[in-house]
Amino acid sequence: MCVLQASGLFAQSREILFKEINDQVMAKYNEGDYESIFARGKPNYEPHVNVRISSMLLDNLKWKMGKALSSELIADLGDTKYFKWTCKTGNIRFELRMEDTSIISIEFNKLVLQPNALERTPLNNNPLKTKLDSIVDGYARIYMSDSSTVGLTIGVYYEGKKNLYYYGEKEKGSGKPVNDQTIFSLGSPFIDGLLARAFVEKKLSPDDDIRKYLGGNFPGLQVKSEPLTLLGLITGKGAPLFGLITTATNQDSWTKQQWESALVGYNHDSLLLRDLYTLKLDTLATTRYHYLMIPSILLCMALEKVYHQSIDQIIRKYYDSAFHMTATKIVADSDDITHYATRCDYSGHPIPQKSYYTTSFYPVNSTAPDMMNYVQANVEEQDPAVRLTHQVIQGDRKSRSRGMGWWIQQVNGKYERIWQHGYDPGSNSMWMVYPELKLGLFLWTNTDSTPLNINDVERSIRETILWWNSQNETKN
């Protein structure tokens, strides 16, 4: 009896502590003392958090939402609790994670119903039969309650089973649901997987000088006599990240569509090779525009050289044969066009469709079922090329490190998170895999940016799954 009473008192005292910290943080938020908020969690707080940048982001959030007027506990996951702050012009979700009496992490986001939330049931395929169905549905509905959202796909691979949930439309106002046939533009996060395969097969070496595969001398592709290597192009280490070289004088005022048109026309058959002959990396200033474009093109040129195929053919063959990803490609087939999801801007308005037949920017296109095969392969880590992409090549796992195409980080010192993001204007996607947990998630939305970040949706689903399972294990 004494043990039970002591346990109950400890739980009660922790509940009070969570509430006290919430109230203290809210007061500091209203005062504008953001540095105190993030500094109070040190040294236990996640080491990758940059206090200055986090304070700037919180200041921007306050500028949009105003001061917090009241708060309430809206979700209790044991060591993690979610509070809803009712602010002057909107609502904030405050996430507080603690172990014993130490703060482990603090998060601020808008993954909570807003005063102007849409009261609607979005198109969806969720059968609402399992606990996982309910967990996903709860967060998906909050995400879709914002008027700027269009479509949302959530894939969960867990306990050996793939679950796919579709919400919203592939084109706003069309009534056409997102489904297994919908084709997403995913950006170019798959090129590093091809490089890993080439390294495993000894077709390429990380230390190779990129000029070996360009068919020319290119004396400027070195920094202080050090050659620009394939690994340097992957990580940016030892060489400046550089982007579009030939630009117009009015590039600062270009729209996204103007940049896209320029990128489509900038391919390795003409302008790029011409510019590379005159390029001097040691004097080139880093550009903020599409800075990963040229390294990606150069890496793809190396792949094409050793496999004697176009990058589109290489992607199709490798991902199909290795992971049964039959819909993953760069160049669209003629019957694909009607299946593409419409890309939308910040407000949910359609972005003019680009030509899906270009290979200059290497945006990979695929479907959700293919992506779940990809997630499964990365969770299970059976393929040698997959394992290679998960090896750290830069940084420290305890804070944040880089693999080939993936970021790698320990979560609260308990398990490893391996993730990557894909971006094409009007289309955002992310992959999160947790090999130790046998868990993986894929999320995609065809809105350029929404007030509710898909990272917050993913983290909430993952944390709730783990909490629910821990409760079941305790009962058993």
Q: Among 1-10, 52-61, 331-340, which stretch is predicted with the lowest mean pLDDT? A: 1-10
Total tally of structural domains belonging to the chain: 2
Q: Does 417 score more than 70 pLDDT?
A: yes
**Are residues 393 and 278 part of one domain?**
yes
Q: Looking at per-residue confidence, does 441 or 281 come out higher?
A: 441
For residue 270, the model assigns a pLDDT of 58
**Are residues 214 and 84 part of one domain?**
no
* Mean pLDDT, residues 303-309: 95
Q: Does 281 score more than 60 pLDDT?
A: no
Residue range(s) defining the domain that contains residue 49: 2-109
For residue 287, the model assigns a pLDDT of 35
Determine, yes or no, domain membership for 390: yes
Q: Does 17 score more than 50 pLDDT?
A: yes
Determine, yes or no, domain membership for 39: yes
pLDDT band of residue 240 (cuts 50, 70, 90) is: very low
Determine, yes or no, domain membership for 180: no
**Are residues 99 and 232 part of one domain?**
no
**Are residues 214 and 92 part of one domain?**
no
Q: Are 142 and 460 in contact (CB under 8 A)?
A: no
Give residue-wise pLDDT tens across range 21-44. 999 999 999 999 988 887 766 555
> Of 68, 93, 109, which closes a domain?
109
**Are residues 99 and 215 part of one domain?**
no
**Are residues 200 and 90 part of one domain?**
no
Quick one: 123 exposed, middle or buried, by C-beta within 10 A (0-12, 13-18, 19+)?
middle
Percentage of the chain modeled with pLDDT above 90: 48
Give residue-wise pLDDT tens across range 93-113. 999 998 888 888 888 999 999
Q: Looking at per-residue confidence, does 409 or 264 come out higher?
A: 409
For residue 157, the model assigns a pLDDT of 98
**Are residues 217 and 92 part of one domain?**
no
Q: Does 163 score more than 80 pLDDT?
A: yes
**Are residues 446 and 298 part of one domain?**
yes
Q: What is the CATH number of the domain that holds 83?
A: 3.10.450.590
For residue 119, the model assigns a pLDDT of 83
For residue 5, the model assigns a pLDDT of 41
Q: What is the CATH number of the domain that holds 305?
A: 3.40.710.10
For residue 207, the model assigns a pLDDT of 93
> Of 109, 142, 166, which closes a domain?
109
> Of 84, 109, 134, which closes a domain?
109
Determine, yes or no, domain membership for 173: no
Determine, yes or no, domain membership for 133: no
**Are residues 385 and 271 part of one domain?**
yes
* Mean pLDDT, residues 319-340: 91
**Are residues 208 and 74 part of one domain?**
no
Determine, yes or no, domain membership for 203: yes
**Are residues 349 and 439 part of one domain?**
yes
**Are residues 317 and 412 part of one domain?**
yes
* Mean pLDDT, residues 297-306: 90
